[in-house]
Amino acid sequence: MDIVLIPGFWLDGASWDDVAPPLRDAGHTVHALTLPGMESRDADRSEIGLRDHVDAVVAVIDYLPDPVVLVGHSGGGAIAYAAADARPDSVARLVYVDSGPLGEGGVINDELPQVDGEVPLPDWGVFEDEDLVDLTEELRERFRSIAIPEPARVTSDPQVLSDPRRYDIPATVICCEFPAEMMRDLMAKGHPYVAELARATDYELVDLPTGHWPQLTKPRELAAAILAAVDR
């Protein structure tokens, strides 16, 4: 199976380096993407928008011969969902890593502080305590050393969707900072955060207790959760 790994904000394909080997060892082909404008800190990302990231994932789907599994971390979940909307027949499963599908017209996070038209990794105080669970000082230093500013328009461009067949793509949500029980409660109450997920015809919620960056804090456990989803 071709597994396409889509990083969240501030990260490139190398951020999956501790997750990819167990997937390969299980016989899968891994495509850890570096999205447009995220090639380096010096890359020109001034004109990069959300659709550019979506189109980059669609291009990978179109290149591969068989249906793929899309794995999206954080903001990468919204990108994976839009790519699946564009190619619903070519996606075997969606896996959201501490993330979920973003509905039509939604934005990933337009409240992050911008600097000169891009969004650098902010101070840790911007994040909730739940985000930072297991992110030790050593891991924080590592994260900051590899962090690449996010194109501002990726954080704030509205999501554009068109094909209702996206609701029939099986989905796995790997719940990290918010446990599956809380997610189910939000869905039962009709919370807008999970409204798009609630429309899916086939989804599962899987707990992986840690903070928002399990590829850094619990990579082996994350790999195992992805493999379990792929096996299904």
Give the model confidence (pLDDT) of 187-204 as tens digits: 999 999 899 999 999 999
Q: What structural domains does the chain harbor?
A: 2-231 (3.40.50.1820)
From the CB of residue 38, how many other CB atoms can be counted at a distance below 10 Å? 25
Q: Which residues contact 53 (CB under 8 A, 6 or more apart)?
A: 35, 36, 79, 154
Name the pLDDT band for 232 (thresholds 50, 70, 90): confident
Separation between Cα atoms, residue 39 and residue 99, nearest integer Å: 23
Give residue-wise pLDDT tens across range 38-93: 999 999 999 999 999 999 999 999 999 999 999 999 999 999 999 999 999 999 99
Separation between Cα atoms, residue 225 and residue 122, nearest integer Å: 29
Q: Give the per-residue pLDDT at 107.
A: 98
- Write out the E strands in the chain: 2-6, 29-32, 68-73, 91-97, 118-119, 150-151, 171-175, 203-207
Higher-pLDDT residue of 31, 116: 31
Give residue-wise pLDDT tens across range 91-147: 999 999 999 999 999 999 999 999 998 999 999 999 999 999 999 999 999 999 999
Residue 35 has pLDDT above 90, yes or no: yes
> Three-state SS for 92?
strand
Q: Give the per-residue pLDDT at 66.
A: 93
Cα separations in angstroms, 91 against 20, 30, 48, 56, 99: 19, 15, 25, 15, 18
Q: Give the per-residue pLDDT at 166.
A: 98
pTM exceeding 0.95? yes
> Three-state SS for 220?
helix
Give residue-wise pLDDT tens across range 156-166: 999 999 999 99
